[in-house]
Chain A
Amino acid sequence: MRQLGYAAMLAFVLAGTVPLHRVFGLSVLRQRRRLALAVLPVAAVFVGWDVLATRAGHWAFDPRQTLPARVAGLPVEEWLFFLVIPLAGILTYEAVRVVLRDGLVGAVRDAAAGRRQRPGERR
């Protein structure tokens, strides 16, 4: 269980942000090409920073609290971090835009109405 310390944090972030998609009727996860174009180049730069900083000894990861798999010296969780956090940021930003436009109650109600109109559609 202790090895899941880092993974638990990523799961917590996803649990807190992926439901925004349904609650506010977002379309972020359906726009896969756009999402890849937005996240991957930025992730590449930050992973590069991370790999070099880890090598330089700026920071280190506790092997007892991370999964054993390492890629370029980083735990797999650290790689996933650069996908999960940008996704969480984008979902939060899009949810905030909807709320500022329609109000909190309006946004939630519209999303629910949208789901009723398209019951077969997965969100």
Chain B
Amino acid sequence: MSYTQLVLLAVPVTVLLDLGVLRTGLVRTRAWWAAYGIVLVFQLLTNGWLTGRGIVTYAPEAISGLRVAYAPVEDVGFGFALVLASTASWVRWGAPSSRPHDDGDSAVATTSARRARGTTTRPPKTS
């Protein structure tokens, strides 16, 4: 599989991880998207350094050829998947009170409240 195909797989898999597996629902919160926006700006900067200077080089046949700030556009998907998977598992392993429910996001608040009342099959985690 090419890098392009792997990224097109990794992005929906991590969204599914966030929504369905870990049930952290970060992609439904503005806090996560605001954080991701900041991360993305710095990714373009630092990844531009790695690719612009040729510290990392890509095989033309593995990528689509579309580039953003020197880097293959696929890197944006790679970074998205890495950061979403990491933040979602961070939230998953936190205390229930640390879950995103105070951002005014009703979809997640429902899940959080249900967990707090212990009506979920998974026991509430404390760290």
Contact = CB atoms under 8 A, between A and B. Distances in A.
Interface of A: 5-6, 9, 12-13, 16, 31, 33-35, 37-39, 41-42, 45-46, 49, 53, 56-62, 65-66, 82, 85-86, 88-90, 92-93, 95-97, 100-101
Interface string B21-39: 0000000001110110011
Contacts of B127: 31, 33-34
Contacts of B82: 42, 46, 82, 85-86, 89
Given A88-B42, A95-B35, 16 more contacts: A9-B55, A13-B42, A37-B89, A41-B89, A42-B82, A56-B62, A59-B3, A61-B56, A62-B56, A65-B55, A85-B79, A89-B35, A89-B87, A92-B38, A96-B35, A100-B31
B83 A86 contact: yes
Interface of B: 2-3, 6, 10, 30-32, 34-35, 38-39, 42, 46, 49-50, 53-59, 62-63, 79, 82-83, 85-87, 89-90, 92-94, 100, 102-103, 127
B94 A34 contact: yes
Contacts of B54: 62, 65
Given A38-B93, A86-B83, A97-B31, A57 B62 contact: yes
Contacts of B55: 5-6, 9, 61-62, 65-66
A39 B86 contact: yes
Nearest to B48: A9
Mostly helix, strand, loop or mixed at chain B's interface? helix
Nearest to A78: B56
B20 to A, nearest CB: 16
Contacts of B30: 100
Contacts of B79: 85
20 contacts: A6-B50, A9-B50, A13-B42, A31-B94, A31-B127, A38-B89, A46-B82, A49-B10, A53-B6, A57-B59, A58-B63, A60-B59, A88-B42, A89-B87, A90-B86, A90-B87, A92-B39, A97-B35, A97-B103, A101-B102
